[in-house]
Structure 1
Amino acid sequence: MKKTFINGVSCISTQKTFDTVFLEKAVVNTNETVLSIVPPVYKDYISPAAIRRMAKGVKNGIVASALAMKDANIENVDAIITGTGLGCIEDSEKFLKNILDNNEEFLTPTSFIQSTHNTVGAQIALSLECKGYNFTYVNGAVSFEAALLDAKMQIEGEEANSILVGGVDENGAYTLSLFKLAGRIKKESDLPSNVLNANSTGVVYGEGASFFVLENERKESTYAEILDVEIKNKLEETEIESEIITFLRNNNLQISNLDAVVLGFDGNLESDIFYKNLAENTFDQTPQLYYKHLCGAYDTASAFGLWIASKILKTQEIPEIVKVNSVTKSAYNTILLYNQVNGKNHSFTLLSK
């Protein structure tokens, strides 16, 4: 059975995460409830005529995928697998608004065509002329992990040698207004936000596109090996520790073998208790990291977490800005990522140097 290696990474986010080494330009914004992307220079990667017609998520996905492939030093892949929670939500909003504004008459189909969730994967395939397996997972907070698991199984089963995997989500103004009404996003009165010591419900929302080139062989550019990915829809607070112990045992590891754990703290008072219990008990002797204070919370934010973990394994350094506690290790060889949203869609991802 083939092993799965991360040989190229890239990240377009609400931070300057491209054209940099590793988070040296990152800043924590505690005074806004919605974080917007720091855009790359799109015309360096996409023709100006095409840029005009593309939604934000599509543009970010194309640029992020191009940067990941450049990082892996490859020009094409056997398959493209994307995960997204809301897809091209801006174009969906535009199309629905046009229906209302025009009384369901004289509609142009452009926004409708580009509003589907698989638009990002399709546009990347067109730009690469890749005719291989192309699939998009829309599974809420585990959309990216579902894509990652699919890619890992395909590489292990020798159905593909190189796969481009990504997590993409964009913000849409009307959707955000609904999220605010529903209490999913923090109120202005809850600011400044403190993700680690939350005193209110809701989250600071974000957006981003992170892509990874997975291959079946180790190269000079290799960041990490993906040992295992597991998804659980529902778990109680009391079950998390035993679930993690079992997950590690299945990979011949135990808690003491972990050199760091990346937790998905998002500042929601009600669901961050899952992480707090682990931080104070299970992982009190393990270096703990977090990331949603930098990228905001969105369905595929865990891809940003994987980008951070991959970078740490390659650089062997942990930036101060992502540290939860002060525990350190002399070397970082094994990292566990754990994420959940509102107490559901729990995911465990295990990386090795």
Structure 2
Amino acid sequence: MTRLFVNGMASISPQPENIFNTGLPETFNENILPALDQDYKSIIKPMTLRRMSQGVKMALFCSKRALLEAESDKPDAILVGTGQGCMQDTEKFMENMLVSEEGLLSPTSFIQSTHNTVAGQIALDLNCNGPNMTFTQNSVSFESALLDAMLQITDEDFNNILVGGVDETSKEITGFQKLDGQIKEEKINNLHLFRSKTTGTIISEAAAFFILGKHKTPKSYAEMLDVEIFNAIDISDLNSSVLSFLNRNGLTVSEIDAVILGKNGDLRFDLYYDKIQKGLFSDICQIGFKHLVGENNAVSSYAFWLASKILKEQTVPEIFKLNTINCTKPGFILIYNQYLGRNHGLTLLRSI
């Protein structure tokens, strides 16, 4: 199988990118976390920027920064994972429809509300005519994009593929997630998320994009080895599913140096993480991230960014640790994420 290297990357989230070096997090006492504002005008034309929703801005900004880091003009393909798409434009169109009493409306917001708007806008800006795909498989949308990248890179004409995940919040629709218990009822400090013993979590917006190439470069962060997604896993079968995934990559649990877990403080579904924290991975470094960046359908792309950064820097900042086990010179990192007990994703990376 063709090897895949992370040759450039960028992220936007409720935390600054330099949190990896400073260990100083942003704190929030609310349950819907905004992404930190960026100097978008530095690499996106102001006139173009005015018409973009938050998700499109974040995705395009990260894409261009990742390309700059990889020293690539444009990718051979664009693959984007987004669980909820451009909610702000969806909300805008629906509000206008109500105000106009279902009269004639400008179609702009409707056109820009589709999930594939993000990938389309990136392609237009980069003048990229290669394959352009959007994956909307809820919380495994990003993993689905990674799987497609593994297939696409086997094409001998493809050297670099842009892969990313993005989800945004909106003023009204995001709040609806309180109705079915996805968002916690009580206000909570994000740094205390894992102490919570209630249902729901904290929701956020974020984006992370990567240049995946078949050739290693001096700037490469890590190598992506494998990805697997499951629609459902019974908690009693979780260990065997993880072991099977490792086995097909010729690895045992003892060879994994760190595991990044999508634990999010939801009493109902953190049981999955608790099981492997206390069992399979009790003796290795455990890493969390949702107490810092919150939960959304594309947040596993942040975990991928974090794993790549750890493998490049060969260190794990204390702010991300879930236990006290040190991780010196990490070689293999496993990412495990699920949401609401469904859509489980496993991703494996190694140092280079």
SS at 1:336's partner residue? strand
Match of 1:351 in 2: 349
SS at 2:163's partner residue? strand
Moved more, 174-183 or 54-63: 174-183
> 2:141 is aligned with what amino acid?
S
In the TM superposition, 1:187-336 aligns within 5 A as 187-188=185-186, 194-336=192-334
> 1:229 is aligned with what amino acid?
V
Distance of 2:313 and 2:19 partners within structure 1: 9
Match of 1:140 in 2: 138
1:109 aligns with 2:107: yes
Match of 1:14 in 2: 14
Is the 8 Å Cα contact of residues 5 and 213 (structure 2) preserved in structure 1? Answer: yes
Deviation, 1:106, is 2.8
Is the 8 Å Cα contact of residues 26 and 294 (structure 1) preserved in structure 2? Answer: no
SS at 2:37's partner residue? coil
Distance of 1:308 and 1:281 partners within structure 2: 23
Match of 1:91 in 2: 89
- For each residue in 1:146-184, what CA deviation from the matched residue of structure 2 results, as whole angstroms up to 9, or x when unmatched? 001100121135462210000010001111221122221
In the TM superposition, 1:56-71 aligns within 5 A as 56-71=54-69
Aligned residues: 351
1:175 aligns with 2:173: yes
Distance of 2:139 and 2:281 partners within structure 1: 23
Is the 8 Å Cα contact of residues 190 and 291 (structure 2) preserved in structure 1? Answer: no
Moved more, 247-256 or 158-167: 158-167
Moved more, 25-34 or 315-324: 25-34
In the TM superposition, 1:128-167 aligns within 5 A as 128-158=126-156, 160-167=158-165
Is the 8 Å Cα contact of residues 15 and 26 (structure 1) preserved in structure 2? Answer: no
Is the 8 Å Cα contact of residues 31 and 193 (structure 1) preserved in structure 2? Answer: no
The TM-score normalised by the length of structure 1 is 0.96
> 2:151 is aligned with what amino acid?
M
> 2:14 is aligned with what amino acid?
T
- For each residue in 1:262-317, what CA deviation from the matched residue of structure 2 results, as whole angstroms up to 9, or x when unmatched? 00001100100100111111111110001011111000000001100000000001
SS at 1:188's partner residue? coil
Deviation, 1:71, is 1.4
Is the 8 Å Cα contact of residues 160 and 213 (structure 2) preserved in structure 1? Answer: yes
> 1:183 is aligned with what amino acid?
G
Is the 8 Å Cα contact of residues 76 and 131 (structure 2) preserved in structure 1? Answer: yes
Distance of 1:67 and 1:291 partners within structure 2: 22
Distance of 2:133 and 2:190 partners within structure 1: 39
Match of 2:5 in 1: 5
Deviation, 1:23, is 5.0
Change (3 A) 1:90 1:192: closer
Deviation, 1:104, is 1.6
Where structure 1 has 5 or more consecutive residues not aligned to the other structure, the ranges are none
Deviation, 1:30, is 5.2
Deviation, 1:21, is 7.3
Deviation, 1:207, is 0.7
Distance of 1:21 and 1:94 partners within structure 2: 34
Deviation, 1:189, is 5.3
Deviation, 1:110, is 1.2
Is the 8 Å Cα contact of residues 28 and 293 (structure 1) preserved in structure 2? Answer: no
Is the 8 Å Cα contact of residues 171 and 207 (structure 1) preserved in structure 2? Answer: yes
Is the 8 Å Cα contact of residues 190 and 200 (structure 1) preserved in structure 2? Answer: no
Distance of 1:329 and 1:124 partners within structure 2: 37
Change (3 A) 1:191 1:77: closer
SS at 1:136's partner residue? strand
> 1:136 is aligned with what amino acid?
T
Match of 2:116 in 1: 118
Distance of 2:298 and 2:166 partners within structure 1: 6
RMSD over aligned Cα, in angstroms?
1.5
Change (3 A) 1:209 1:23: farther
Is the 8 Å Cα contact of residues 80 and 134 (structure 2) preserved in structure 1? Answer: yes
Is the 8 Å Cα contact of residues 9 and 307 (structure 1) preserved in structure 2? Answer: yes
Distance of 2:74 and 2:188 partners within structure 1: 46
> 1:14 is aligned with what amino acid?
P
> 1:298 is aligned with what amino acid?
N
Deviation, 1:198, is 2.7
Distance of 1:340 and 1:9 partners within structure 2: 23
